[in-house]
Structure 1
């Protein structure tokens, strides 16, 4: 499946979940229509209201230990989710332009085999993340049903209203309403922010791989043609290199747009995954009353947080790794076999290759808040640091 089809279908789903039209054309839908604006405002008002009630519950609410822990976790997580969604929507103009660039750049170099791998990669990662998130949410529902069976009330999301003692019909209806809102919010979060960011990172990674294969192909073509017609081989190599260098320049510009559009999202996820994971793991370690389902819901929440962070950082790290291979592909194109008299006027192949190699040797590294490098190493560091902090707090609580 081509990038055009992948991104357009994705933008259709984003439009459906109420975040607006991120496609660079209007054929998906007009998000400026009054009825869609009402839908958009109403949806985010519902999400925002629930998040505010969670924050009040965390700060002012009087709940049992397990509900208080869930309350704090959801209040922090959903606040970050709201910030991420608002940030992405505020960059809609930039993202629409980015979608156009992602579709058009490298289009003529695309290989069917690489396109299939890219689509499979996106599909598998998206399904795995979707299942992890919703299985975690389902565990919260099962825990709520277990409490009902034991004579308590049903609850998944803990909000300031209703209070813990309130078991009236209106309170029950509101708790069920919050559960429905949670599942809706998760869908909007996945499609509009998390998966959308992941898709752009994977696509850009494959753009770099496509460009690298292109340089390798023109090198092979040059070697074959050089045996038959040296002048034509040199001319074709010069033309091919010029085209490849222009695409590389475009990719460098697009990466800056990706950083502007999604860099803040990745940075927030970095802190959310590590901070929330410590809090959640401590709930398991400290609490002696957690049921199996209770532990399961927390573990899958932690897995979902780190799985998303892994998707972000590992794909960002893969961009750095693949871009580091470009310099070799450019250098070994066969420029040293190009005789001076055969080179087109104004196109000194050796000089062009030298400049391109210098540019390609600068690693393409995305950074959180322009400080923390988003790479494989950072992902491993976050996991180690999270466990170290958890072990420290757990040891201190054990001594107390």
Structure 2
């Protein structure tokens, strides 16, 4: 599937969940239509209202330990989700331009095998993340049903209203309503922010791979043509290199747009995954009243958080790795075999290769908050740091209980 089709399909789904039209053409839908605007405002008002009620419950609510823990976790997570969605929607014009650039750049160099591999990569990662998120939510529903079976009330999202003692019919209806809103909000979150960011990172990664393979291909063509006609081989190599260098320059510009459009989202996810994971794991470690389903819901919540962070950081790290390979692909193009008299005037191949190699030797690195490099190493560091902080708090908690 072409990048054009992948990005357009995502834009259609984003439009469907009420976040607006992110496509650069008018085929997806008109988000300036009054009916659509009302639909979008109502959806985000519902999400925002539920998040505010969660924050109030975390600050002022009087709930048992397990519900209080869930309340704080959801209040923090959903606040970050709302900020991420608002940030992405606020960059709608930039993302429309980015979609056009991502769909068109490097298009003439694309290979069917790479396109198939890229689509499979996107599909597998998206399905895995979708399953992790909704299975975690399903565990909260199962835990709520278990509480009903034991004579308590059904609850998934803990909000300021209703109170813990309120088992009236309106309170039950509101708790079920909040559960439905949770599932809707997660769909908007996945499509508008998480999956869309992941897809752009994967597509850009394959753009770099495609460009690298293009340089390798013209190098092979040069070697074959050089045996037959040296002048024609040199001219073909020069034209091919110039075309590749232009695409590389365009990719550098596009990466800056990706950083502007999604860099803050990845940075927030870095904070959310590490902070929430420590809180959830500690809650599971020190609580003696958690059921198997209760532990399962926490574990899948943590898995979903770290799986998304892994998708972000590993794909960002792969961009850095693949861009670092460009210098070798350019250098070994065969420029040293080009005779001076055959080279185009004003376009000396050796000089062009030298400049391009110098640029390519500085790998492309995305950074969170302009400081933290988004790479494989950062992902491993976050996991180690999270576990270390959890172990420290858990040890301190154990000492307190012993005393």
Q: State the TM-score bracket (shorter-chain normalisation).
A: over 0.9
Match of residue 211 from structure 2: 211
Report Cα offsets for 1:1-60 as digits up to 9, x if no partner.
Answer: 000111001100000000000000011100000000000100000000000000000000
Match of residue 166 from structure 1: 166
Matches of residues 85-234 of structure 1 in structure 2 within 5 Å? 85-234=85-234
Match of residue 40 from structure 1: 40
The secondary structure found in structure 2 opposite 1:24 is coil
Q: How far apart are 1:345 and its partner, in Å?
A: 1.0
Match of residue 2 from structure 1: 2
Report Cα offsets for 1:62-117 as digits up to 9, x if no partner.
Answer: 00000000000000000000000000000000000000000110000000000000
**Uncovered stretches (5+) of structure 1, i.e. residues with no partner:** none
| Distance across 2 between alignment mates of 1:27 and 1:169 | 45
The secondary structure found in structure 1 opposite 2:130 is helix
Q: How far apart are 1:132 and its partner, in Å?
A: 0.3
* 2:57 is the counterpart of 1:57: yes
| Distance across 2 between alignment mates of 1:29 and 1:172 | 37
| Distance across 1 between alignment mates of 2:284 and 2:185 | 26
| Distance across 2 between alignment mates of 1:398 and 1:281 | 14
| Distance across 2 between alignment mates of 1:9 and 1:375 | 28
Runs of 4+ in 1 over 3 A off after TM superposition: none
| Distance across 1 between alignment mates of 2:47 and 2:26 | 27
Q: How far apart are 1:346 and its partner, in Å?
A: 1.3
| Distance across 2 between alignment mates of 1:240 and 1:59 | 62
| Distance across 2 between alignment mates of 1:123 and 1:23 | 20
Report Cα offsets for 1:282-302 as digits up to 9, x if no partner.
Answer: 111000000000000000000
TM-score norm. by structure 2 comes to: 0.99
* 2:401 is the counterpart of 1:392: no
Q: How far apart are 1:244 and its partner, in Å?
A: 0.1
| Distance across 2 between alignment mates of 1:39 and 1:98 | 26
Give the count of matched residue pairs: 400
Q: How far apart are 1:173 and its partner, in Å?
A: 0.2
Match of residue 294 from structure 2: 294
| Distance across 2 between alignment mates of 1:66 and 1:344 | 74
Cα RMSD after superposing both structures: 0.3
| Distance across 2 between alignment mates of 1:372 and 1:26 | 38
Q: How far apart are 1:215 and its partner, in Å?
A: 0.1
* 2:241 is the counterpart of 1:241: yes
* 2:275 is the counterpart of 1:275: yes
Match of residue 337 from structure 1: 337
Match of residue 349 from structure 2: 349
Q: How far apart are 1:363 and its partner, in Å?
A: 1.2
Match of residue 78 from structure 2: 78
| Distance across 1 between alignment mates of 2:267 and 2:27 | 33
